Amino acid sequence: MKELTVEANRENLLQVQSFIDEELEAADCPMATQIAIDVAVEELFVNIASYAYGDGKGPATIQVSIHKDPKAAEITLIDDGVPYDPLAKPDPDVTLAAKDRKKGGLGIFMVKSSMDDVKYEYKDGQNVLTLIKNL
């Protein structure tokens, strides 16, 4: 497992994505899968940077593991911010027109739809969100 810890702010998104992409490329991850992972991580990291610490600052840790059988990438995002389970909200009704839907939730819905598994837990005072995508 490889790990990167950065301050949770939007300016560090490129560093986070470069870190993940390096691991995915080393695992011969297909480009379409890498793009799906990058989009999901962007959504989640920006949410952490925007909401986890309120007006304050704090760390975000990104862990990447590549599993061999079955071949999959496991990406975990960890923050010390306010407890928040993004998976607890019901999915938006995407059959409704955008103007008729409640605001919010579409990004997490997209993450859940594009990954093979998404898990959340609050452990030891930290939000731990794990993505699994088969390669």
pLDDT (tens digit, 9 = 90+) per residue, 47-60? 999 999 998 899 99
Whether the predicted pLDDT of 105 surpasses 60: no
Whether the predicted pLDDT of 92 surpasses 60: no
Query: Residue 68 forms beta bridges with which residues?
Result: 71
Note the pLDDT of residue 109.
83
Residue range 32-43: mean pLDDT, rounded: 96
**Confidence category of residue 108, pLDDT binned at 50, 70, 90:** confident
Residue range 104-127: mean pLDDT, rounded: 89
Domain hosting residue 39, numbered range: 2-134
Whether the predicted pLDDT of 11 surpasses 80: yes
Q: Can you give the three-state secondary structure of the chain, one letter per residue?
A: CEEEEEECCHHHHHHHHHHHHHHHHHCCCCHHHHHHHHHHHHHHHHHHHHHHCCCCCCEEEEEEEEEECCEEEEEEEEECCCCCCCCCCCCCCCCCCHHHCCCCCHHHHHHHHHCCEEEEEEECCEEEEEEEEEC
CA–CA dist 10, 14 (Å, integer): 8
The CATH number of the domain where 27 resides is what? 3.30.565.10
Count of structural domains within the chain: 1
